[in-house]
Amino acid sequence: MDWHRIRSDFPVLDQQVNGHPLVYLDNAASSQKPRAVINTISHYYERDNANVHRALHELSNRATEAFEQARKKVGQFIGAKTEDEIIFTRGTTEGINLVANTWGAANLRPEDVILYTGMEHHSNLVPWQLLAQRTGATLRHIPVLDDGTLDLTNIDTLLNEQVKIFTFVHISNSLGTINPAKELIAKAKAVGAVTFLDGAQSVGHLPVNVQDLGCDFLAFSSHKMCGPTGIGALYGRMELLEKMPPWHGGGEMIFKVSLEASTYKDPPHRFEAGTPDISGVIGLGAAIDYLQAIGMENIHRHDANLSNHAVQQMRGIPGIRILGPDGHRGSLVAFHLDFAHPHDVVEFANSHGVAMRGGHHCTQPLMKRFQMPGTTRASFYFYNTLEEINRLVEVLHAARKFFT
C-alpha cells in the first residue's frame, strides 16, 4: 500500500499549525475527510440537491437514488442481510437512544437487568440509565481489569437469564481495548439476551460483519470513518425492528394519518421521521467506497503497526503510564504523564503542531476506576505515519523538559 499517496487524499493534513507541520492525532474524536467525500457532497449540492422520497421530478429522483444507494452500501459494508436493516441516525449516540427508547421501553420490566461494562462511553451509559429509571430495570456492569481488558471471571453470574440486554463497546475509546465481541455475543445469546454493539471506534478501523458477530444491534458514526459529521447508522436485526414501536413521529415515517391516529411504515422508514441529512448520507456512502477501495484488512493492519510503534516508543518517556492492553489494541494510546496535567500536555503539543485530546474522553466511570482525573490520548488513522509518531514522542520528551 502506498500510504503516503493515500495521505495526500486528505487536503486538511497539508498545513502548518503554530509554525509546525500539522500532526493530527485526534482521530478517535473525529477523522479527517478525503477529497472524494468532500467532492461527492459538493457535487450533490451543485447538481442534485432536492428532498428525497417525495417528488417525482428529476432532481428528487436523483437525490433519492443516491440516498438509497448509500443505504445499500452501508448494509453491505457491515454484512447486514438487507439494507432495510439500516436506519440513518445522527450518529452512535442517537442509535443507542433510539433502541433504548423503542425496543427498551417496549420490552423492559422491573425484574429485568441491563448489562454493560465499566469501559463504556457516556453515550452507552446514560440512555440505559434513563431507561432503567423509567422501567424499574436494574443496571449491572462487567468490571475492568488493571490491564484494560474486561474481567470475565464472573461472566456467567453477571450475564445470566435476568439480563434482557447486553450492550458493550467493541473498541474502547479510552483504552484501545478490542473486546472479544463474537464470544461475548454468543454468551448473551445462550441466556436469551439481546445484544447491542457500540461500533463507534471499530466500524471504520477493522472489518465488521454483523451476521458473523451475531449482534442484534450495532451503532456507528460517519465522522469517525472519513464521512461527514451529523450522520451515522443503526443496524437492527429485522425480526426485532419489525416489532419495535416508532420513536420520533412526523413526516416520512407514516403510512396513514388521521386526526385521531396514525399507522406507520415498515423499517427502516418507521424510524426516520422528517427530512433526513441527505448530503450526509450520500457523503457516508462515498466514505464507505473510499475505505473499501483501500480495504478494511489493510487499514486494520496499518492501524496496528502505528499503535504498536507508538506504545514501544512512548514506553521510553520517564514518568509515563500507558493505559490499555499490552498486546493487540485499537489505533490509540491513552497515557498519563506524572509531570503535567493532560490539558497542559495537549496545549504544549498543540504549540508544536500536534493535535491530541486530554480529559475524561466521556468515560468518567473508567477514569474513576483507574483513579485518574483524565488522560492524554493520541489516536491514529491510516493516513498517519511512523514519522508523525516519532514527532509526537519527541514533543513529549520536550514537554518533560519544559514542565520539570
In the complex with ligand PLP, the residue whose CB is nearer, 91 or 285, is: 91
Secondary structure in 3-state letters for 183-201: HHHHHHHHCCCEEEEECCC
Q: Which of 71, 73, 121, 300 binds ligand PLP (CB under 6 A)?
A: 121
Separation of alpha carbons 127 and 365, rounded Å: 15
CB of 210 to ligand PLP, least distance (A): 17
Stretch that binds ligand PLP, among 116-124, 135-143, 262-270, 368-376 (CB under 6 A): 116-124
Angle between helices 386-403 and 342-351 (to 10 degrees): 120
CB of 42 to ligand PLP, least distance (A): 23
- CA angle, 177 then 178 then 183, to 5°: 130
What's at 326, amino acid-wise?
Answer: D
Q: Does 92 bind ligand PLP (CB under 6 A)?
A: yes
In the complex with ligand PLP, the residue whose CB is nearer, 201 or 279, is: 201
Helix or strand (DSSP H, E) at 320: strand 320-322
Catalytic residue flag (residue 362): yes
Q: Which of 34, 91, 148, 285 binds ligand PLP (CB under 6 A)?
A: 91
| Residue labelled with grid coordinates 490491564 | 147
Stretch that binds ligand PLP, among 72-80, 87-95, 240-248, 253-261 (CB under 6 A): 87-95
In the complex with ligand PLP, the residue whose CB is nearer, 188 or 200, is: 200
| Residue labelled with grid coordinates 484501545 | 176
Q: Which of 22, 126, 294, 362 is catalytic?
A: 362
How many Å separate Cα 147 from the centre of its chain? 22
Phi and psi of 26, rounded to 5°?
Answer: -125, 40
Q: Does 379 bind ligand PLP (CB under 6 A)?
A: no
Residues 182-221 that bind ligand PLP (CB under 6 A): 198, 200-201, 221
Q: Does 169 bind ligand PLP (CB under 6 A)?
A: yes
Q: Which of 27, 32, 64, 93 binds ligand PLP (CB under 6 A)?
A: 93
Q: Does 173 bind ligand PLP (CB under 6 A)?
A: yes
In the complex with ligand PLP, the residue whose CB is nearer, 197 or 349, is: 197
Instruction: Output the nine-digit C-alpha cell for 306.
Output: 502505528
What's at 152, amino acid-wise?
Answer: L
C-beta of residue 359 within 8 angstroms of C-beta of residue 343: yes
Q: Does 284 bind ligand PLP (CB under 6 A)?
A: no
DSSP 373-395: S-EEEEE--TT--HHHHHHHHHH
Separation of alpha carbons 243 and 96, rounded Å: 17
Residues forming the active site: 362
Q: Site residues (CB under 6 A) for ligand PLP?
A: 91-93, 121, 123-124, 169, 173, 198, 200-201, 221
